[in-house]
Structure 1
Amino acid sequence: MASLIGHDAELQAKNYLLANSLQFVEQNYKAKVGEIDLIMLDEQQLVFVEVKFRSSNSHGSAAEHFTVSKRRKLERVINYYLLQKKLNPHHTNFRLDVVAIDGEQVNWIQNV
């Protein structure tokens, strides 16, 4: 059940970003070091997106569940992705965004 909810949240986030002029590149990129929910393109910039969903705020908002340790883990996955695609991390334009979904409210936090 949780994975179905996660998939629905990722689909909602993807559609939200598409409606805001981003282009879809890849979903659920998996590496030995972790996973990236969505990879999008904002003009010439790669956007790696972490999707967080909470049906209620009783245990904090979705955005509050994006932790420093989660960020570090995602940075390792991003570096792995760039190396796999033969893109130099120092010369590739990219950013990390969070799409936090609290019930029906979508909060797109850019460049976290």
Structure 2
Amino acid sequence: MAQIPTRTGCSGELTRKQTGDAWEQNARRWLENRGLRFVAANVRMRGGEIDLIMRDGAVTVFIEVRYRRSTRYGGAAASVSRSKQHKLLQTARWWLARQNGSFDTVDCRFDVVACDGSHIEWLKNAFGE
């Protein structure tokens, strides 16, 4: 797995964004090593963002990457709330429409890559419509 870069400066700590970006990059490489093909990253629309969009064979996979330093407050997977799931669904619906598709015409699923400390867990088909 790739090294998480350190920020130059007084504190030597990464910002939340830098940490998130680094873990998303690690998750992408980790998934590519398991056979998924990269399509897009950080797809944004008003009110939502999809961290990664990849292909698993013929299936379009929308991926939420979550990182938590520890599992003290439920861990990374538990942090994907019902509200976050709704935002991901809306953003995926919008992205599919821009690709001339929909949930009815494209085989897709929603996965979560949960990173707790240095442990990575891949939750396939973690939630749906």
Q: What's the TM-score once normalised by structure 2's chain length?
A: 0.84
Gaps of 5+ in 1: none
CA offsets 1:41-65 (integer angstroms, 9 cap, x no match)? 0011100000000011222210010
Question: Quick one: distance in 2 between partners of 1:35 and 1:52?
Answer: 13
Alignment of 1:1-112 (within 5 A): 1-112=15-126
Question: Quick one: distance in 2 between partners of 1:5 and 1:39?
Answer: 19
CA offsets 1:25-75 (integer angstroms, 9 cap, x no match)? 001011123110000000111000000000112222100101111111110
Runs of 4+ in 1 over 3 A off after TM superposition: none
Question: Quick one: distance in 1 between partners of 2:125 and 2:101?
Answer: 19
Q: Percent identity?
A: 35
Cα root mean square deviation, aligned: 0.8
Gaps of 5+ in 2: 1-14
Question: Quick one: distance in 2 between partners of 1:61 and 1:15?
Answer: 22
The one of the two structures with greater contact order (alpha-carbon pairs below 8 A, sep at least 6) is 1
Q: How many residues were matched structurally?
A: 112
* More helix per residue: 1
In the alignment, which residue of structure 1 is the partner of 2:6? Answer: none
CA offsets 1:52-104 (integer angstroms, 9 cap, x no match)? 00011222210010111111111000100001111132011000000000011
Larger Rg: 2
